[in-house]
Amino acid sequence: MKLLVTGGAGFIGSAVIRHIIKKTNDSVVNVDKLTYAGNLESLSEVSGSDRYAFEQVDICDRGSLEGVFEKHQPDAVMHLAAESHVDRSINGPAAFIETNIIGTYTLLEVTRSYWNGLDSEGQQAFRFHHISTDEVYGDLDGPKGLFTEETSYAPSSPYSASKASSDHLVRAWQRTYGMPTLITNCSNNYGPYHFPEKLIPLVILNALEGKLLPVYGKGEQIRDWLYVEDHARALYSVVTEGRVGSTYNIGGHNEKQNIEVVHTICSLLDELAPVGSTFAQLVPSLTHYHDLITFVADRPGHDLRYAIDAGKIEHELGWRPEETFESGIRKTVQWYLDNLEWCRRVQDGSYQRERLGIASA
C-alpha cells in the first residue's frame, strides 16, 4: 500500500510513519504544513527510506492537495493533521477552526474527487482513516464508566469541539457520498518526540532545569494514558483491517490522576538523573524533584475524567496495548534523558530556524 499521512511530522503522525517504514513493506507520503509542532527531526531514522516521501502542504490548500494526490496516487489516507493543545485553543481558537474543521473538509473533498476517479476495484480497496480524540465525549461523571463508541458527544473546549465537528464531517461524507471512512478516538498519548508543551515532557524538562512543575487545580484530573507506539500499531491495524464506516476507541487501560503522573516522573528522575548529577545541575537547596511541584489555577472548562473502553478494537482486530503505564513512562523518561539535544532544539526553536534558513541569534 501507499499511505498518505497528514500531520506526519507531529507527535503521533511521526510515530505512525516510523512504524510503517520499520515494521511493514508499505510506502508513506507525509503531508505536513510544518507548524510549530511539526518537526522532521522526529523522522530522521526513516526519512532516508525509498518508501518515504515528504510534501510540505497545508491541508486547507485545495490546489496543492490535489497535486499531491495526482502525483502520489495513494491507496489510503490517514488524517492526523490537527491543532491539538487545549490551552492554545482557549487562548486562540481560530487556528483550531481553520485546521481541524476547514482543513478536514478540504481534505475530504479532495479525497472524494480522487476516489471518484478510481476504478471500481480501487474504490473498493481505498480507505480514509480519520484520527480523533476521546475529548469529543466530554468528561465522565464519577469514578466509574467508560467511553464507548456509542457515547454521546459533549465537547468542552474549542479544541475538542473542533475535533467533534471534524468527526461529524467524516461520518457525513461516508453516509452521503459513500466514501470508505474509518474513525478512531484515542486517549492521552505519551512517549518519545512529544512536543514539550504537553504535561509529561513539560514536567521532565522543567524538572531537569530546576523549574517549577505546574499542576492544574489539585491534579485530580484522571486520564487514560496510551503509549504512542501502541497507538501507532492500533492505527495501522484499523486502516488495514477495520470495517468501513466503523469507529474504534483506542485506550491504554492506564487511568491515572495528573498528580500521580507528575509524582511518578519525579521518582523516576530521582532514580535516573538525581539532583546534582550531570543531567540536573539545579539550585543548591533542592534535594528531590517532588519539591518543584506547584499547584496553579485550574483550566477553564477542565474535564475531570476520561477513560476508554477499547473492547471493540480488541475483539475485532486483536489489538491490545503492549506497554503498561509503568513500563511506558520509564521508557519515556529515559528517552528524554538520552535525547536532550532534540529537546533543546525544540525549546529554542532552532529546529524551525534551520528549516527556514534563519540564523540563530
Return the CATH number at 110. 3.40.50.720
Residue 359 forms part of a structural domain? no
Residue with the bigger pLDDT between 360 and 203: it is 203
| pTM for the whole structure | 0.93
Least confident of 35-44, 100-109, 112-121, 156-165: 35-44
Q: What is the pLDDT confidence band of residue 354, given thresholds at 50, 70 and 90?
A: low
* Backbone torsions φ then ψ of 338, nearest 5 degrees: -85, -10
What is the model's pLDDT at position 355?
Answer: 58
Q: Any idea what DSSP says for residue 135?
A: G
Instruction: Say whether pLDDT at 278 is over 90.
Output: no
What is the model's pLDDT at position 276?
Answer: 80
Dist. CA 91–CA 94, nearest whole Å: 9
Tally of structural domains, the chain: 1
What is the model's pLDDT at position 281?
Answer: 66
Instruction: Say whether pLDDT at 361 is over 70.
Output: no
pLDDT mean across residues, the chain: 93
Residue 215 forms part of a structural domain? no
Instruction: Write the pLDDT tens digit of every residue in 100-130.
Output: 999 999 999 999 999 999 999 999 999 999 9
Residue 293 forms part of a structural domain? no
What is the model's pLDDT at position 72?
Answer: 98
Residue 218 forms part of a structural domain? no
What is the model's pLDDT at position 237?
Answer: 98
Residue 278 forms part of a structural domain? no
Dist. CA 224–CA 257, nearest whole Å: 9
Parent domain of 64? 2-191+225-255+300-324
Dist. CA 36–CA 212, nearest whole Å: 24
Residue 356 forms part of a structural domain? no
Residue 360 forms part of a structural domain? no
Residue 153 forms part of a structural domain? yes
Active site members: 134-135, 159
Checking DSSP bridges between strand 293-296 and strand 27-31, what pairing results, if any?
A: unpaired
